[in-house]
Amino acid sequence: MQLPDAPRADPAARRLGQERPGDLDDERLRPQLRTFRDEHGRELFDVPGTPLPDPATPAPVRFLPEFDNATLGHADRSRIIPEEHRPRVVTSRDWRLVLVDGFVRAMWTTKREAGRTVLEVEPFERLSKMAKDQVVAEGTELLRFVDENGGDVIVRAHR
């Protein structure tokens, strides 16, 4: 994505086009940007003319790798890790997490069984049938990426 009227060589413009919305200290770009305020009143910037999703649009299920910036990069991790799951997440040795509707709801791991890759998901709470189906569908796509022979997605029952 490129900023309108921004020189292609401008590294700040390229960075903003890749990381949005975000904080920006470069005053040269300020006049060309769309601005927002977060829940703490901080000013955020975005590339103008880009589509914004309807606020009612549900976030898709996502499998995050270990130590992903989405979970580690927030000063306020409650924006992605619900407080009731925080102790389990931060004391875990494995930060491969599953987002359901934009929040951490499970952990995942892979193992080899009989020459196939098995992806196991351990929910932190009971998942609805629809959420579980979405986890299985996204997990199946992840397995296709990781192992050309495919595999199985197992969602364990919530303990």
Q: What is the pLDDT along the chain (159 residues), one digit of tens a residue?
A: 444 444 454 555 555 555 444 445 556 777 778 888 877 788 877 888 888 788 889 899 999 998 888 887 767 788 889 999 988 888 887 789 999 999 999 999 988 888 888 899 999 999 999 999 999 999 998 988 887 776 777 787 665
Burial per residue of 80-97, b for 16 or more beta-carbon CB atoms within 10 angstroms, e otherwise: bbeeebeeebeeeeebbb
* Residue 57 belongs to a domain: no
- Considering the domain boundaries, does residue 149 fall inside one? yes
Domain that holds residue 146: 62-155
Determine, yes or no, domain membership for 5: no
Q: Please tell me whether residues 22 and 74 are part of one structural domain.
A: no
Q: Global pTM?
A: 0.72
Q: Are residues 143 and 111 in the same domain?
A: yes
Give the list of residues 6+ apart from residue 44 with CB closer than 8 angstroms, or none: 21, 22, 23, 35, 36, 37, 38
- Whether residue 68 is found in the same domain as residue 141: yes
- Assess if residue 75 is contained within a domain: yes
